Structure 1
Amino acid sequence: MARKIKCIIVDDEPLAQSVLVKHADQIEQLEVVAVCANAVEAFGHLQDKNIDVVFLDIKMPKINGMELLESLDTLPLVVFTTAYREFAIRAFELDAIDYLLKPISLGRFMKTISKVNRYLMGTDSVGNEGNEKKESQTGKIPNDSGILYIKSNRKILKLDLNDINYLESLNDKVIIHTCGGNQISTTQRIGYLAEKLPKKQFLRIHRSFIVAVDKVVAFNSIMVEINGKELSIGRNYRSHALETLQIHSDQ
């Protein structure tokens, strides 16, 4: 039996909550872990790495759905559920995998779950809109070995992984610092990019930094040095980062 797809529903409207719960109950593979009435309540559940997908309303009191999404480093797959069409472009810039307009039919909901299942099975990739210039005819950005495709200035850029020194999360963007001294900006979140980068080659050392391990010229318990730049090692990342860097330095 296939494992359950665990989800949470975040919506301040009881009727919208009940519709999504009813639809979810029709799909045996889907398990609703929590139903949240606001973003603050959802925040705690989103710390659970076992959550696969969140159905997220946009217009909610205090903190809206997009603000919640932007506040998180790592998160599950995101499906926006809303009565408003005008947020669609921004939603996909935030790498949402789908955008459901209320009222949501069971058929449309099932189509979304099929897409979620493809992502979780690794047969599709998040954030690949069909209108980007360098996508294949299937609408997917190629995932060649040694290559990272990123969205920057309304284009898809192809980066050689060997040309990357480190990635820096800065405000609402990520800056990719290259060996040639270029700085490439993207609105894709650092948590999403961390999942795309090969773990043997790149290391998350801080909520704001991912480094190319072979570009590290020096390190201690609180920082790494790359190309004359000292980058802090975050407390929550320190143990794994130091272990990885030590192993690499011993090779």
Structure 2
Amino acid sequence: MNCLVVDDEPLASDLIKSYIERVDGLVLAKSCSNAVEAMAYLNAHPVDLLFLDIQMPKITGIDLMKSLSIKTKVIFTTAYRDYAIEAFDLDVVDYLLKPITFERFFKAISKVFNFKAPEGQLATDYNLLHNFEASYIFLRAEREMVKVYLKDILYIESLRDYVRVKTLNSQIISYNKISYLEQKLPENKFIRVHRSYIVPFDQIITFTPQTVKIREHLIPIGRNYKNETIKALNKFNVMQS
């Protein structure tokens, strides 16, 4: 993922560049000290991700973003809180306040990788829904993007801001909300049975009104999910008959 850093403060620019070097999958394409220079570069070299300061001479970061004709993910890096509402109205990925820690930087990058999953790898894609055996997603685990085949998933468990994805041969802890994965997984293959669990229909061995069993794992059915879960399981059973 090619990155462009735009900041008129050398120390702030150097910090972001050092963070980019620490994250696999990010490549520094160029750094610019003002929006005019950045605009000239972007016209000739489209990038995937833009780290953009707001208060700069001549043209502000917000004005630069408004003028962009290409779709580039933007993370604002600024010392000012005042522009946050306007920034998010522009659909930026994140809004980082200086001084920026690596932990906060990495959290923003995790959002970017979710946005930037390659075409054909999200569960909402047509090809994925119609070729389930070959379908996969990439999940961020520490500093790596890990390929996970959907057919190998046994269950997904919420760990607050993280999820545990248990597969046939391993488990992945990824910085993701379970609600995000719920939206991405094909609903004819997966079901959320509890606020903390998503399970695949194909892996369910037995179920009761309280639990579903997947191999040796007994997964609870949440009270608020009970009716829809039992209805969906019965419907799936009829469809498979």
What is the TM-score of this pair, normalised by structure 1? 0.50
Q: 2:107 — aligned with what?
A: 90
Could you report, residue by residue, the CA deviation over 1:96-139 in whole angstroms, capped at 9, with x for unpaired residues?
x5xxxxxxxxxxxxxxxxxxxxxxxxxxx7343xxxxxxxxxxx
Counterpart of 1:238 (choices 208, 226, 235) is 226
* 1:149 aligned to which of 138, 148, 163: 138
Residue type of the alignment partner of 1:175: R
Q: In the alignment, which residue of structure 2 is the partner of 1:168?
A: 157
Task: In structure 2, give the amino acid aligned to 1:84.
Answer: P
Map residues 1-251 of structure 1 onto 2, 5 A cutoff: 16=81, 19-20=83-84, 23=86, 79-80=94-95, 82-86=97-101, 87-93=104-110, 95=111, 126-128=114-116, 140-144=117-121, 145=128, 146-170=135-159, 172-180=161-169, 182-251=170-239
Cα deviation code 1:35-54 (max 9, x no counterpart):
xxxxxxxxxxxxxxxxxx7x
Contact map agreement 1:148 1:161 (CA 8 A) in 2: yes
Contact 1:224 1:233 in 2 (8 A): yes
Q: Distance in 2 between matches of 1:84 and 1:91?
A: 14
Distance 2:84 2:162 in 1: 32
Q: Deviations over 1:163-206 (max 9, x none)?
A: 111111235431111123x2222122212111211111011111
Percent identical pairs in the alignment equals: 28
- Equivalents in 1 of 2:217, 2:119: separation in Å? 32
Structure 1: any 5+ residue segments left out of the alignment?
Answer: 1-14, 25-29, 32-52, 56-77, 98-124, 129-139
Amino acid at match of 1:210: I
- Cα displacement (A) at 1:154: 1.2
Q: Which structure's residues are more often helix, by fraction?
A: 2
How far apart are the structure 2 equivalents of 1:222 and 1:195?
Answer: 24
Q: Superposition RMSD on alpha carbons, in Å?
A: 2.8
Change (3 A) 1:126 1:172: closer
Asked if 2 retains the 8 angstrom alpha-carbon contact of 1:92 and 1:127, the reply is no
Q: Kindly provide the amino acid, as one letter, of the partner of residue 179 in structure 2.
A: G
Tell me: CA distance 1:236–1:82, structure 2 relative to 1, closer, same or farther (3 Å). farther
Residues 234, 80 of structure 1: alpha-carbon distance in 2 compared, 3 angstrom cutoff = farther
CA distance in 2, matches of 1:178, 1:81: 35
SS in 2 for 1:159: strand
Answer yes or no: is the 8 Å Cα contact 1:204–1:210 preserved in 2.
Answer: yes
Letter in 2 for 1:141: P
Separation in 2, partners of 1:188, 1:20:
23
Is the CA contact (8 Å cut-off) linking 2:189 and 2:200 kept in structure 1? Answer: yes
Provide the rounded CA distance (Å) in 1 between the counterparts of 2:175 and 2:142: 9
